[in-house]
Amino acid sequence: MSFPEDLKYTENDEWVRVEGNKGTAGISDYAQEHLSDVVYVEIMPGEGDSFSKGDPVATIESVKAAADVYAPISGKIISVNEGLADNPELINTDPYGEAWMIRFEIADPSEFDGLMDVAAYKKVCEERDRS
């Protein structure tokens, strides 16, 4: 299972990549592994839409379950991954790359404090697997 060092993570298994005042988000390898084969994805906001931390931004359905993806921090959409709806299996094969979901302008950099670094996120995943 892959845990890239350069990303920030949430308790709900989203990742964020930060470049200057722009962010990119998707779901983690751990999340896709637990969802198993993804068959459907819908990204709700469109270009220019603002969203707050914790707002649902996408819905994912796998053969096992349906899950919501929440905004890891607040922002305004620059673009969404349009191709993902036709190829939801990208979430299984390349969760940190081709299966990015939203790119956005970061509204409030102080919200980074609420995110986890890779070590903290790894620990959360390990604890979950043990319980």
Partner 1 sequence: MTEPLIFELSSPGRKGVELPECDVPETPLPKDLIRDDLLLPELSEVDVVRHFTRLSQLNYGIDISAYPLGSCTMKYNPKVNEDAARLPGFAYTHPLQGPEEAQGNLLLMFELQEWLKEIGGFAGVSLQPAAGAHGELAGIMMIHAYHHDRKDDRRIKILIPDSAHGTNPASTAMGGFQSVEIPSDDRGNIDLEALRRECDGTVAGLMLTNPNTLGLFDEHVREIIELVHGCGGLMYGDGANMNALLGVVRPGDLGFDILHYNLHKTFSTPHGGGGPGSGPVGVSERLKDFLPGPIVEAVDEGDENRPPKFDLIFPRKSIGRVKAFHGHFGVMVKAYTYLRMIGKDGLRAVADHAVLNANYLRVRIRDAYRVPYDRICMHEFVAEGAWEDAPGIRALDVAKRLMDYGYHPPTNYFPLIVHEALMIEPTETESKESLDAFADAMIKIAGEAHTDPDVLHGAPHITAFGRMDEVRAAKQLVLRYVPKEKNQI
Task: List contacts with partner 1 (CB under 8 A).
Answer: 34, 36-37, 39-40, 61, 63-66, 89, 128-129, 131
Shorter beta-carbon distance to partner 1: residue 18 or 124: 124
Shorter beta-carbon distance to partner 1: residue 70 or 104: 70
Under a CB-based contact definition with an 8 Å cutoff, are residues 18 and 8 in contact? yes
What's the closest the beta carbon of residue 92 comes to partner 1, in angstroms? Answer: 10
Query: Where do we find the tokens 């305004």?
Result: 76
Element (H, E) at 122: helix 118-130
Q: Own/partner pairs for 67-70, CB < 8 Å, 24+ apart?
A: 67/31, 67/35, 69/12, 69/14, 69/27, 69/101, 70/10, 70/12, 70/14
What's the closest the beta carbon of residue 123 comes to partner 1, in angstroms? Answer: 17
What's the closest the beta carbon of residue 109 comes to partner 1, in angstroms? Answer: 28
Shorter beta-carbon distance to partner 1: residue 38 or 102: 38
Shorter beta-carbon distance to partner 1: residue 63 or 119: 63
Q: What is the DSSP letter of 110?
A: G
What's the closest the beta carbon of residue 18 comes to partner 1, in angstroms? Answer: 28
Task: Tell me which residue of 51, 54, 7 sits closest to 29, measured CA to CA.
Answer: 7
Residue 8 burial (10 A CB sphere; 0-12, 13-18, 19+): buried
Shorter beta-carbon distance to partner 1: residue 17 or 53: 53
What's the closest the beta carbon of residue 40 comes to partner 1, in angstroms? Answer: 7
